[in-house]
């Protein structure tokens, strides 16, 4: 069958590409404590993106006004990463936009719309790959319940790396999942280092290695190998199905600390965790690589809110939290702490249901608390 031949040929190419990806990977770490100028790229995104990103930028401009005036921090607006432009050019991230992004150090990015089906890759996935943002770091905390979770989600491999390049034959469709020693080792290292440096005593590895034997089996094995360098940290293994149940088990859930997992499980469970915290609108997300980093909301662009004319009720807290993570990443710890304290103290609840405040009312109140 001709289709079979074509599929096998394209599979060979995919495998070769993945081998090359690992062989050519490089790491150039940036030291933000000494870097003279830090450029923060601002990408609005789609749907509610421009509203919540705009509000987060107001907060950053306020917090960083001295450094912006002195030129040690530059906020650089990047246009063109809109769904309209991406579709018109038929590029997930238009080349010119990517080049501009690469002139920045870090990025604050609003949610972008991902077309369902079709061939176009999600802009997020493209950016994570092109900028090699391998660690997706997502904190969730509920102090009243003693919950302080930190998710370390592998961000460049798994089901995502070839997600838009599966194979379709008449009556059959196949997608691929890729796990490498290299990719697993670096996310595991990041998770254990976080644990060690932040007084955490437990790392929980979450997979479905009873079913995805090769890929998740490798992920588990490599994580345990890395764990040997951290004898003071307790390590345990869970399957993703029971872990989703654990997170709604109020007797157990506050015992988890750092949760280390492959890409797709990390995607799914962090939405669950964010909902437990108070809604996806309350959760920020960091995509960290050695050279670049990108900070965003955990959620999507909410096109339905825009269609219903409710955009001003989108919660900017997700982007503001992402901004606090950005500040920590570029070693502006004082500014990050000021922002986190103000967020804790701000009692304005953004909601489209009555009584509820707008995004703008939230930011006004927050800035007064800074």
- Nearest residue to the partner ligand IPM, using Cβ: 122
Choose the binding region for ligand IPM from 14-22, 121-129, 141-149, 189-197 (rule: CB under 6 A): 121-129
Tokens in use for 132?
């090699």
Q: For the CB of residue 295, give the shortest distance to Mg ion in the complex, in Å.
A: 15
**Residues, the chain:** 370
Q: Is there binding between residue 216 and ligand IPM (CB under 6 A)? A: no
CB of 267 to ligand IPM, least distance (A): 4
Counting runs of H as helices and runs of E as strands, what totals does the chain give? 14, 12
- Residues known to be catalytic: 160, 208, 241, 267, 271
Question: Which contacts qualify for 92-98: CB closer than 8 Å, 24 or more apart?
Answer: 92/120, 92/121, 92/122, 92/123, 92/125, 92/126, 93/123, 93/126, 93/127, 93/130, 98/126, 98/127, 98/130
**Which residue, among 331, 336, 335, has the nearest Cα to 106 in the 3D structure?**
331
Which one, 23 or 116, has the nearer CB to ligand IPM?
Answer: 116
Cβ 310 to ligand IPM, closest distance in Å? 21
Closer residue to ligand IPM (CB): 187 or 226: 187
Segment 276 to 315, residues that bind ligand IPM, using CB under 6 A: 300
Whole-number Å distance between alpha carbons of 292 and 102: 8
CB of 296 to Mg ion, least distance (A): 10
- For 83, which DSSP code? H
Q: Is 154 in the site for Mg ion (CB under 5 A)?
A: no
Give the Cα separation of 112 and 283 in Å (integer). Answer: 16
Nearest to 370 by CA among 311, 330, 320, 297: 320
CA distance readout (Å), 151 to 90, 199, 217: 33, 15, 20
Q: Which does 158 bind (CB under 5 to 8 A by kind): ligand IPM, Mg ion, none?
A: none
Contact between 296 and Mg ion per CB under 5 A: no
Pick 41 or 110: Cβ nearer ligand IPM: 110
Query: Binds 122, which of ligand IPM, Mg ion, none (CB < 5 to 8 A, cut-off by type)?
Result: ligand IPM
Our finding on whether 267 is near ligand IPM (CB under 6 A) is yes
Q: Is 122 in the site for ligand IPM (CB under 6 A)?
A: yes
Nearer to ligand IPM (CB atom), residue 57 or residue 283 = 283
CB of 137 to ligand IPM, least distance (A): 12
Q: At what angle do helices 359-369 and 317-329 cross, to 10 degrees?
A: 40
Q: Is 4 exposed, middle or buried, given 0-12, 13-18 or 19+ CB atoms closer than 10 A?
A: exposed
Binding span for Mg ion by CB under 5 A among 90-98, 125-133, 163-171, 267-275: 267-275
Least distance (Å) between residue 158 CB and ligand IPM: 10
Token couple for 282: 């309350």
Compute how many other C-beta atoms are within 10 angstroms of the C-beta atom of residue 10.
13
195, 233 Cβ separation under 8 angstroms: yes
For Mg ion, give the closer residue by CB, 100 or 121: 121
Taking CB under 6 A as the rule, does residue 113 contact ligand IPM?
Answer: no
Among 267, 297, 324, 332, which residue interacts with Mg ion (rule: CB under 5 A)? 267
Interface pick for ligand IPM out of 59, 63, 125, 319 (rule CB under 6 A): 125
Select from 25-33, 118-126, 228-236, 302-310 the region that touches ligand IPM (CB under 6 A): 118-126
CB 178 within 8 A of CB 158: yes
Cα dihedral across residues 343, 75, 309, 303: positive or negative? negative
Q: Which span sits near ligand IPM by CB under 6 A: 117-125, 186-194, 230-238, 313-321? A: 117-125
Q: Give me the residues that bind ligand IPM (CB under 6 A), please.
A: 114, 122, 124-125, 267, 300
Q: Give me the residues that bind Mg ion (CB under 5 A), please.
A: 267
């Amino acid at each position: 069958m001709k289709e079979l031949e074509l599929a096998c040929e394209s599979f060979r190419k995919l495998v070769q590409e993945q081998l090359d990806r690992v062989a050519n990977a490089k790491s150039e770490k940036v030291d933000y404590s000494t870097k003279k100028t830090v450029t923060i790229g601002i990408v609005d995104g789609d749907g509610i993106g421009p509203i919540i990103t705009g509000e987060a930028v107001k907060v950053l401009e306020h917090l960083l006004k001295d450094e912006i005036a002195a030129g040690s921090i530059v906020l650089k607006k990047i246009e063109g990463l809109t769904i309209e432009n991406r579709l018109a050019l038929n590029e997930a991230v238009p080349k010119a936009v990517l080049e501009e992004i690469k002139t920045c150090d870090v990025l604050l990015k609003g949610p972008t719309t991902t077309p369902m089906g079709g061939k176009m890759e999600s802009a997020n996935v493209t950016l994570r790959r092109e900028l090699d943002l391998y660690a997706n770091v997502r904190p969730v905390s509920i102090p009243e319940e003693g919950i302080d979770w930190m998710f370390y989600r592998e961000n460049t491999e798994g089901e995502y790396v070839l997600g838009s390049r599966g194979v379709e034959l008449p009556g059959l469709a196949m997608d691929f999942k890729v796990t490498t020693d290299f990719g697993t080792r670096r996310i595991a290292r990041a998770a254990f280092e976080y644990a060690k440096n932040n007084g955490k005593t437990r790392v929980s590895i979450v997979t479905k290695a009873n079913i995805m034997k090769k890929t998740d089996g490798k992920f588990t094995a490599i994580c345990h190998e890395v764990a040997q360098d951290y004898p003071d940290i307790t390590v345990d293994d869970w399957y993703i199905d029971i872990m989703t149940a654990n997170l709604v088990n109020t007797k157990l859930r506050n015992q988890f600390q750092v949760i280390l997992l492959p890409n797709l499980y990390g995607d799914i469970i962090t939405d669950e965790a964010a909902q437990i915290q108070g809604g996806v609108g309350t959760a920020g997300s960091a995509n960290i690589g050695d050279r670049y980093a990108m900070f965003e909301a955990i959620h999507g662009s909410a096109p339905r809110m825009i269609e219903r004319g409710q955009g001003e009720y989108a919660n900017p807290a997700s982007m503001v939290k992402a901004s606090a993570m950005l500040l920590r990443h570029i070693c502006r710890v004082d500014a990050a702490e000021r922002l986190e304290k103000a967020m804790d103290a701000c009692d304005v609840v953004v909601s489209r249901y009555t009584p509820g405040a707008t995004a703008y009312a939230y930011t006004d109140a927050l800035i007064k608390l800074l």
